[in-house]
A and B are shown apart, each in its own frame.
Chain A
Amino acid sequence: MKTFIHLWKYPVLLGILTTFGLLAALTGTGLWHVLSWIAMVIPVLVCVRYGFFLEKKVRRTGN
């Protein structure tokens, strides 16, 4: 269970943000569009953060 949470915590969180963003713009207007942009730009920023700013050292976890 610990491994599962460790593995999937961020992917699930980003998936929820994306789903929310996709539906918010579809079902709402105005503020909902803004919330949708914010929710959906986060996964893109995560890609940029981990894709372009590569860490030199790999941190292994305890398990």
Chain B
Amino acid sequence: MTITKTSARIWFEIHKWTSLICTAFLLMLCLTGLPLIFHEEIDHLTGKEPEAKEMPANTPKMDLDAIEEIALKQYPSNVIRYMFWQKDEHPNVVLVSLADSLNAPPDVANFVSMDERTGEVLQQPRFDEGFMYVIYKLHVDMFAGIGGKLFLGLMGLLFVASIISGIMLYGPIMKKYDFGMVRAEKSTRIKWLDLHNMLGVVTLIWALVVGITGVINTTSDIVLGLWQMGQLAEMVEPYKNTAPLEGELSPIDAAVKTAQERAPDMNPSIVAYPGTIFSSQHHYAVFMRGTTPVTSKLIKPALVDARNGSLTDMRDMPWYVNMLFISQPLHFGDYGGMPLKIIWALFDVITIVILASGLYLWFARRKSAEAQMARIESMAMEMEEATA
């Protein structure tokens, strides 16, 4: 890859400015991301993970309507909005999410986790407090809501641009040297320049993938909105002029079983109750998860009429929702066991070194440019004095 001097100059300016703007935020993201890689283990150690006790493998599950009743007993004035299952992480545990009303803000909720075979209440966890919550919020939106989230997405885009401009500069700098060259015996600045280039080019793909998937994750609210207006609206089209639901809903257990009959090779992952942001006014939305490595990352919604319990529709999610779901593991690094998490953390630490050394190089270069300028000025002065 040969590029001319002028284009190298332009790429250098792009690299400098995109990096300068995003570096502070990227450092924050890398630092907060580090404990988040291990959030499962940390939650486990701090006793925040619900664990159902050992029982024979084929112990029957409790009726979900009874689960509902037990959850409501913990928060009698609340309504149930969601049920969650994480079969792999928390086998035999169902998490019920309740709130004052169906349209309370999404992050205002009470939770009850239960053993789905015995109905034993395991925990009433709070997800909106503690160290890990602060770290998580900083990482996702800096406590600034959707605006903060999209702002971090923009910083992610700048990060991607700085990686690409960095690749364009690697060629001209390294043309005359072997891979891995680090000039340790010259100045500190040269040593760190070489380290910055070497670490950057080696971790290139990882940084690009985590950067791009991070940007995609910041669009989650937009993706949800698109899905509500698109596929969800299409699926509930026949109900457009139906009067709002009143009185008792059809049994939840039967609704989940109906969805399961339609997709026997899948497991329920989320149930959204009628009137919540993940469903229509008239349906239970049962989101089914597959069992293969890839399909377990995707979910498939089944809409069950909450008046008569019949299945209205079941479809695959549109591509933009699936793209979001596939982006999540690729950003979190939580899909390949503990060794992958450790590798993820090492890449993260290397990225911190690249960011910090980039910042140092900018300072050092400015200083050396200033020193050079001062030398030129004093030389000019001397010449003037000599000719005077």
- Contact, CB under 8 Å: A50 / B329: no
Q: Which residues of B contact A7 (CB under 8 A)?
A: 1, 170-171, 174-175, 179
Beta-carbon nearest neighbor of A42 in chain B:
B202
Q: What band does the interface of chain B fall in when counting residues whose beta carbon is under 8 Å from A?
A: 35 or more
Report A40-52 CB contacts with B as 1/0, cut-off 8 Å. 1101101101110
CB distance from B170 to the nearest CB of A (A): 8
Report B135-178 CB contacts with A as 1/0, cut-off 8 Å. 00000000000000000000000000000000000110011111
Q: Does B335 contact A (CB under 8 A)?
A: yes
- Contact, CB under 8 Å: A47 / B199: yes
The one of B170, B179, B340 that contacts A9, using a Cβ cutoff of 8 Å: B179
Q: Which residues of B contact A60 (CB under 8 A)?
A: 176-177
CB distance from B34 to the nearest CB of A (A): 15
Q: Does B350 contact A (CB under 8 A)?
A: yes
CB distance from B210 to the nearest CB of A (A): 9
Q: Does B203 contact A (CB under 8 A)?
A: yes
- Contact, CB under 8 Å: A58 / B181: yes
Beta-carbon nearest neighbor of A13 in chain B:
B179
A52 to B202, CA, bound (A): 15
The one of B181, B201, B203, B339 that contacts A37, using a Cβ cutoff of 8 Å: B339
- Contact, CB under 8 Å: B177 / A61: yes
Residues 1-42 of A contacting B (Cβ, < 8 Å): 3-4, 6-11, 14-15, 18-19, 21-22, 25-29, 33, 36-37, 40-41
- Contact, CB under 8 Å: A26 / B182: no
Q: Which residues of B contact A50 (CB under 8 A)?
A: 180, 182, 198
- Contact, CB under 8 Å: A47 / B294: no
- Contact, CB under 8 Å: A51 / B182: yes
CB distance from B30 to the nearest CB of A (A): 15
Q: Which residues of A contact B170 (CB under 8 A)?
A: 7, 11
Q: Which residues of B contact A36 (CB under 8 A)?
A: 336, 340
A44 to B326, CA, bound (A): 24
Q: Which residues of A contact B175 (CB under 8 A)?
A: 3, 7
A62 to B111, CA, bound (A): 67
Given contacts A7-B1, A47-B350, contact A33 B185 (CB under 8 A): no
- Contact, CB under 8 Å: A40 / B177: no
The one of A25, A51, A58 that contacts B195, using a Cβ cutoff of 8 Å: A51
Q: Does B311 contact A (CB under 8 A)?
A: no
- Contact, CB under 8 Å: A25 / B177: no
The one of A11, A27, A44 that contacts B293, using a Cβ cutoff of 8 Å: A27
- Contact, CB under 8 Å: B178 / A61: yes
Q: Which residues of A contact B179 (CB under 8 A)?
A: 7, 9-11
Q: Which residues of B contact A43 (CB under 8 A)?
A: 202-203, 206, 347
Q: Does B204 contact A (CB under 8 A)?
A: yes
- Contact, CB under 8 Å: B198 / A26: no
- Contact, CB under 8 Å: B180 / A10: yes
The one of B1, B176, B337, B347 that contacts A8, using a Cβ cutoff of 8 Å: B1
Q: Does B209 contact A (CB under 8 A)?
A: yes
Q: Does B330 contact A (CB under 8 A)?
A: yes
Given contacts A37-B340, A56-B184, contact A26 B178 (CB under 8 A): no
A3 to B86, CA, bound (A): 51
Q: Which has the most chain B C-beta neighbours within 10 Å: A6, A21, A22, A29?
A: A22
Beta-carbon nearest neighbor of A37 in chain B:
B339
Q: Which residues of A contact B203 (CB under 8 A)?
A: 18, 43, 47
A14 to B181, CA, bound (A): 16
- Contact, CB under 8 Å: B174 / A37: no
CB distance from B204 to the nearest CB of A (A): 6
Q: Which residues of B contact A46 (CB under 8 A)?
A: 180, 202
- Contact, CB under 8 Å: B335 / A54: no
- Contact, CB under 8 Å: B178 / A59: yes
Q: Which residues of A contact B201 (CB under 8 A)?
A: 11, 14
- Contact, CB under 8 Å: B182 / A22: no
A51 to B354, CA, bound (A): 12
**Residues of A with Cβ closer than 8 Å to B?**
3-4, 6-11, 14-15, 18-19, 21-22, 25-29, 33, 36-37, 40-41, 43-44, 46-47, 49-51, 54-56, 58-61, 63
